Amino acid sequence: MSLLVDLAVALLTVLVGAVAVYFAIRLLGRIAKTVVTVLVVIAVLLVLWFVFGDGVALSPFAPQTQWLKI
């Protein structure tokens, strides 16, 4: 049940972020596109680092679960 709640919150966060990005790009134009692109790239890199990295640097913030470990 907790996993479903986490997924729902993550999906809602992504949707709100996508709507905010859409309106920022429509209102601010080219500068907003550049800023949003940089932020998205940083966010994706952080997620990949968190999921596939060893987690040493993020260990104080990482959830203590074993289901991603192979």
Element (H, E) at 12: helix 2-28
How do residues 28-59 score in pLDDT, each as one tens digit?
777 877 887 888 888 888 777 776 666 555 55
pLDDT given at position 38: 85
Element (H, E) at 31: helix 30-52
Q: In the chain, what are the domain boundaries?
A: 2-52
| Global confidence as pTM | 0.44
Q: Which two tokens stand for residue 49?
A: 């680092």
36 in Cβ contact with 24 (< 8 Å): yes
